[in-house]
Amino acid sequence: MSNYYEVLGVSQDATPEQIKKAYRRLARELHPDVAQGPDAEDRFKDVSRAYEVLSNPDKRAMYDRGVDPTAPGGGAGGAGAGFGFQDIFETFFGAGAGGGQRGPVPRSRRGQDALVRLDIDLKDAVFGVHRELQVDTAVLCTTCQGSCCRAGTSPRTCEVCGGRGAVQRVARSFLGQVMTSSPCAACQGYGTVIPEPCTECSGEGRVRSRRTLKIDVPAGVETGTRIKLTGQGEVGPAGGPAGDVYLEVRERRHETFVRRGDDLHCTLPVPMTAAALGTVVELETLDGARQIDVRPGTQPGDVLVEKGLGVGHLHGAGRGDLNVHVDVQVPTGLDADQERLLRELAELRGEQRVPSRLAPAQSGVFSRLREKLAGR
């Protein structure tokens, strides 16, 4: 009987991790696709056989008592019978590369995240708002407290896989006999079965229910902003940790104000005479009524800026501005007296006729429009 400890180069009291590490090192050196020489293949088989025995607690105990489990009649059925396909992948590509299962799958898992749309008004985006939202989600079963079992019972070890969560099968491959592992169909890989499921949740550990989420929407949010509510999502199977809720904001259109970043814009109609003489207009803003001073000689397209009456900054203190765009209205449908007065005014100002020569581009309304489009 070969000394498998010497084959792997480890002591008799070596830990499973030391045995695995020694095997991986030797397997890389001696694999037929890597090593050269007539003895490489035989040594690779010896190393594989040694690892097969020493990596299995039962076979190792049998070997330590003087019985070779890989020998005919020894219990394993021949050289290489217990050499796992997962171990080959781990040797050359690292742990987990083979996709095999190591131990039973936890029955308790994290719940899924949820994405919920939240419609708000412009005023809510300006100042922030506290909202309550009803959602249908999964919550912890209060009857079994997530155990999935009826009162007085508990999960039972799966008799098919012995609690390992996986079953092994021997198949032939280019390396000889290879043992493959797959999830146990009897327990779905959990290693345990629920003999008497909770009648309230049908063994899920959670039930569907309607919850009320309390939300503090900060000032400055806009369409597309997402607010994360950590741990407010659905509870996972078997009472697993709750997922998160993501609120995606959609801002409703306002009938008066248009938002551009953190600034608000609106249009103020002003009669021609008021624009020429100047006036004070009361404007209803989101902060209440404000007196807007229209200076004498205000031109069409002029913008009156009211500082700090815009949207609150999402990141930082302060607010944007309110930009009031003046729309000078030219009177129509003049009666005889009004037309006579305007003609007299035009004569006094020498404006009876429109000049045939165009004004310089930089002094007109079109130049201001051009500058705005150019970002100046």
Specify the 3-state DSSP secondary structure of 108: coil
Same structural domain for residues 81 and 14?
yes
pTM: 0.60
Q: Is 148 labelled a binding residue?
A: no
Same structural domain for residues 75 and 130?
no
pLDDT value, residue 367: 57
Same structural domain for residues 63 and 119?
no
Residue 182 falls within a domain, yes or no? no
Return the DSSP state at 149. B
Residue 121 falls within a domain, yes or no? yes
Task: Give me the CATH number covering residue 312.
Answer: 2.60.260.20
pLDDT in tens, 105-115: 888 999 999 99
Task: Residue 314: give the domain boundaries.
Answer: 258-373
pLDDT in tens, 212-247: 999 999 999 999 999 999 999 999 999 999 999 999
Q: Is 187 labelled a binding residue?
A: yes
pLDDT value, residue 155: 93
Examine the pLDDT at 98 and tell me if it is beyond 60. Answer: no
Residue 108 falls within a domain, yes or no? no
pLDDT in tens, 318-363: 999 999 999 999 998 889 999 999 999 988 888 877 666 665 655 4
Same structural domain for residues 288 and 313?
yes
Residue 11 falls within a domain, yes or no? yes
Same structural domain for residues 336 and 264?
yes
Same structural domain for residues 324 and 281?
yes
Candidates 225, 215, 37; CA nearest to 135 is 215
Same structural domain for residues 131 and 202?
yes
d(CA 343, CA 353): 11
Q: Is 184 labelled a binding residue?
A: yes
Same structural domain for residues 230 and 317?
no
Give the strand pairing for 166-173 and 263-271. Answer: unpaired
Same structural domain for residues 231 and 282?
no
Same structural domain for residues 277 and 369?
yes
Give the strand pairing for 258-260 and 263-271. Answer: antiparallel
Residue 178 falls within a domain, yes or no? no
pLDDT in tens, 14-71: 888 898 888 888 877 776 556 556 677 778 888 888 888 888 888 888 777 777 777 6
Q: Is 149 labelled a binding residue?
A: no
Q: Tell me whether residue 116 is exposed, middle or buried, using C-beta atoms within 10 angstroms of its C-beta: 0 to 12, 13 to 18, 19 or more.
A: middle
Task: Give me the CATH number covering residue 53.
Answer: 1.10.287.110
Specify the 3-state DSSP secondary structure of 132: strand
Same structural domain for residues 368 and 332?
yes
Residue 300 falls within a domain, yes or no? yes
Question: What total number of domains does the chain contain?
Answer: 3
Same structural domain for residues 15 and 77?
yes
**Mean pLDDT, residues 305-328:** 94
Residue 162 falls within a domain, yes or no? no
End position of a domain, from candidates 221, 251, 281: 251
Residue 309 falls within a domain, yes or no? yes
